[in-house]
Amino acid sequence: MQRTKPAARRDTRGHQMKEVNQLRRTKDEAKRRYQSCLRDVKYRLEQSDSTNSLQNYVQFLKASYASVFGGLPFSRSSLRAHSAI
């Protein structure tokens, strides 16, 4: 009986090592997915910030134009009329 115990222990250790390796692979894969999602969220946030900044700048330009030119915003027809002069 003593001879079968070491073999059983080796089988158990081998099985445990396989489980540990599988868990490591699963953890590494989850970490890669998390990092990829994090990069994607950061990129979308930067794009959103850029869009908001640009929208704020356009609003500033509109307000500036309105205060300088009496509140009349640019239109395509007014641009054509000015360019024809």
Q: What is the 3-state secondary structure (H, E, C) of 11-73?
A: HHHHHHHHHHHHHHHHHHHHHHHHHHHHHHHHHHHHHHHHHHHHHHHHHHHHHHHHHHCCCCC
Say what the pTM is: 0.55
> What pLDDT, on the 0 to 100 scale, is given for residue 10?
73
Mean pLDDT by 10 residues, the chain (85 residues): 61 92 98 98 96 96 92 60 54
> What pLDDT, on the 0 to 100 scale, is given for residue 3?
54
> What pLDDT, on the 0 to 100 scale, is given for residue 60?
96
> What pLDDT, on the 0 to 100 scale, is given for residue 11?
83
> What pLDDT, on the 0 to 100 scale, is given for residue 4?
52
